[in-house]
Amino acid sequence: MSIKKRGDTIIEVMMAVAVFAVLAVITINLMNSGLNSAQRTLEELMARNEIDNQAEALRYIHESYIAERQLDQNTSQFRKLWDALRNVAQKPANLEDEETGELAVFDINRINSCSEAYRSKPRGMVFAYNAFVLNTRLILPDSGTGITYDGNAYDDVIKDIVVGINDLYETESGAEDRRLTEAPLYPRIVYSASGLSRDIQTGLASPVGDDNTTGSLAENKIYNRIKRAEGIFIIAVGDINSNSQKEIARSNYFDFYIRTCWHSIGSTAPSTITTIVRLYNPEVIE
């Protein structure tokens, strides 16, 4: 008696391979979707952390100035900082581009790419509304004693605290670039060393190379100067519709729009988060 042995046909093999391929593709897509979702969640968390830092810095400067309102003007340590914030306020009106006549977009959700917010011609919202960021590591009061910080007078230090779109930094190649830039990854503020180092034992700052410092310079440098603000900026808007900076400064309040824009992984549309901080003007409302 003979037994016939029968193997799989070519059609059966092809069906098995096809089922395996479909299952593999579905599994890979699910894994990629999960990874993309986790990555977007992490990016949003990082963006919200930066937004919260900026919001708290705005409130801190405002409340510190209010606390000093009863003091003499010369002894008010946060007056210059508050004035710097008030002076960048712009009302969203008459913001036509000088060459094209095109109005700058104020609603960040209306742009198709983050590059539109940062373009200079026709002007995007970052240029049109004099956007800025706050250096949360360097919010210093004006001591009024003439003491310099890192060799700079206090008026020059303010320029490192309120960093605007027209402020530049020197790149490694020696070229200059704007401090407010698009985000290659996610919204973040990148700091550079200030030329100071910190003594490990005392915690006091001293010039780099001072004999009092110990350890490597990489460990002791103080990173408190903004090199780049990537994908995050603030727009200050007063409640008075006027082109006069003097009149805008008399607004009852200022709305500070803290905005982020970046291109998240697996998404074609830009990711945006906006928070508004309203601060009432102590010069007008007591």
Give me the amino acid identity at 222. Answer: I
Closest alpha carbon to 187 in 141, 150, 228, 127? 228
CB count within 10 Å of CB 17 equals: 10
pLDDT of 11-42, one tens digit each?
777 888 888 888 888 877 777 776 767 788 88
Report yes or no: 259 and 230 within 8 Å, Cβ to Cβ: no
Q: How does pLDDT run across 124-164, given as a tens digit for each residue?
A: 889 888 899 999 988 888 877 666 666 678 888 888 899 98
Chain segment 190-199, per-residue pLDDT in tens: 998 765 554 4
286 burial class (0-12, 13-18, 19+ CB within 10 angstroms)? Answer: exposed
- pTM for this entry: 0.78
Q: Decide: 121 and 99 in contact? Cβ < 8 Å.
A: yes
Query: Which phi and psi (to 5°) does residue 266 adopt?
Result: 75, 15
- Residue 111's closest CA among 282, 259, 210? 259
SS3 187: coil
SS3 state at 54: helix
Q: Please determine, for residue 183, whether its predicted confidence score (pLDDT) is greater than 50.
A: yes
User: Which comes out higher in pLDDT, residue 78 or 70?
Assistant: 78
| Whether pLDDT at 213 is above 90 | no
- Is 163 within 8 Å of 133 (Cβ atoms)? yes
